[in-house]
Amino acid sequence: MITILAFLVTLGILITVHEYGHYQVARWCGVKVLRFSIGFGKALVSKRLGKDNTEYTLAVLPLGGYVKMLDEREGPVDQADLPRAFNRQPVWKRIAIVSAGPAANLILAIALYWVLFIQGITGMKPMLGEIAADTPAAQAHIKSGQIIKSIADTPVTTWQDVRWVLLNQTFKTSDVDIETSDGNDLYLYRLSLAGLSKEDIDENFLEKLGLTPFRPQMPANIGEIIKGSVAEKAGLKAGDKIVSVNDVKVAQWEDFVSIIRQNPGKPISLKLVREGKPLEVAVVPDATKEHGQLIGRIGAGYRINESEMKDLLIEVKYSPLAALGQATQKTWDTSLFSLKMLGSMITGEASWKGLSGPVTIANYAGQSAQIGFKAFIGFLALLSISLGVLNLLPIPVLDGGHLLYYMVEILKGSPVSDKVMEVGQRIGFAVLGLLMACAFYNDINRLITG
């Protein structure tokens, strides 16, 4: 229910803001608006308001919306209303009206990021954990325990920044400069990105590069038990100290987790100490899929000490004016990156697996809503940018397609013919159909493979 509700709220906000952009600018330009609809199909709620008797509608299918304006191409128009018909407006007004929808989504993203940057964003410090052998980071002689300060001369403060900057750099260059600090001295390394494939970018490419977050030493002590889990049924309790798994000694929590993950559905013998007394417990880890691989889980967790976590976390916040600049820059960078990713998909440099449909969006909406307000706001901002950028693409039936027609009209001095627009509509629907089919396929594939 949380996922469904979060999905509906997400769609409702994004669609309403988008259509309101068209609606408001149309009114400013003197165009008569006949209907403002959130959703398609049969109307659930409908009411007429204002001097123009505009119909405001909430329809049954929430995957979109539209603003219907007075237009001679769609029906007869009274002589008195001709100056207010959309098709009678100068081209610059039509451009403004069509651009307003995507612009509203980008403005919403700036506003949401502005709120986040004022409130403060908590993230993990980019402190390097163990550098795996034979990775680009190991070959560059990057040392664990150091904190990443900048990448390609771009300052970074969290691991989210590190991922974002490196993801952008993969489309620009084959190697990148990374500056780190050990608390006293600064170090400069040259990291190769050449070995990354388009499949790696879809997964955890930082791990492929050998860059992993620092993790404090965690003893193999159980901190919490999930109700109804394998661990609870086996009699494990919070506070149990794991000594060995299948007679293999374990000292760290990661070692314990690794063995559990490697034995889905297989009986495992645990030797542990509870309140100073040795015990032996048998468990059979549940078999679940993660990124297409079968792994084991028992439903036991490690409770991290608060002081340990505070040393690893950092809160980044700005003054209202500085936050506005950061929010604008974030929206701009994300918009450009979205276009680069789409271009890379078309050229084959990036995988089409990154394209998501409504099922994945609903899933992320639910997850972000459960994490908290800030996570949901960040997700909403990102999706608003995606919607704005998508609608600006020069594909007929999208806002960008109409803008393309108007650019042609400016160049040739007359509107594009109805026949050309009709052919464009068919092409546009075909392209959108292919994109939706690919998105739904990816959604279903993620559900099947986990």
Q: Sort 175 into a burial class: Cβ within 10 Å, 0-12 / 13-18 / 19+.
A: middle
- Whole-angstrom Cα distance, residue 99 to residue 131? 48
Of 213, 151, 217, which Cα lies nearest the Cα of 178?
A: 151
Residue 383 three-state SS: helix
Strands 154-155 and 147-151: antiparallel
Q: How many CA atoms lie within 13 A of 315 on its CB side?
A: 9
Question: Nearest-CA neighbor of 36 among 23, 18, 52, 21?
Answer: 23
d(CA 340, CA 164): 13
Say how many C-beta atoms besides its own lie within 10 A of residue 149's C-beta: 16
Give me the catalytic one of 19, 280, 290, 306: 19
Has 19 been annotated as catalytic? yes
Phi then psi for 445, rounded to 5 degrees? -65, -40
Q: How far apart are CA 143 and CA 365, in angstroms?
A: 37
Q: Give long-range contacts, CB 8 A cutoff, 24+ apart: 412-421.
A: 418/73, 421/396
Strand partners, 36: 56, 67
C-alpha–C-alpha distance, residues 296 and 283, integer Å? 11
Residues near 215 by Cβ (< 8 Å), separated by ≥ 6?
129, 254
Nearest to 244, CA basis, from 214, 209, 271, 217: 271
Q: Are 188 and 151 in contact (CB under 8 A)?
A: no
Cα torsion through 69, 73, 78, 80, rounded to 10: 70
What are the distances in angstroms from CA 362 to CA 51, 98, 160, 377? Answer: 38, 28, 22, 14
Task: Tell me how far apart the alpha carbons of residues 378 and 390 are, in angstroms, rounded to a whole number.
Answer: 18
Angle at 413 between CA 411 and CA 418, to 5 degrees: 100
- Which residues are annotated as catalytic? 19
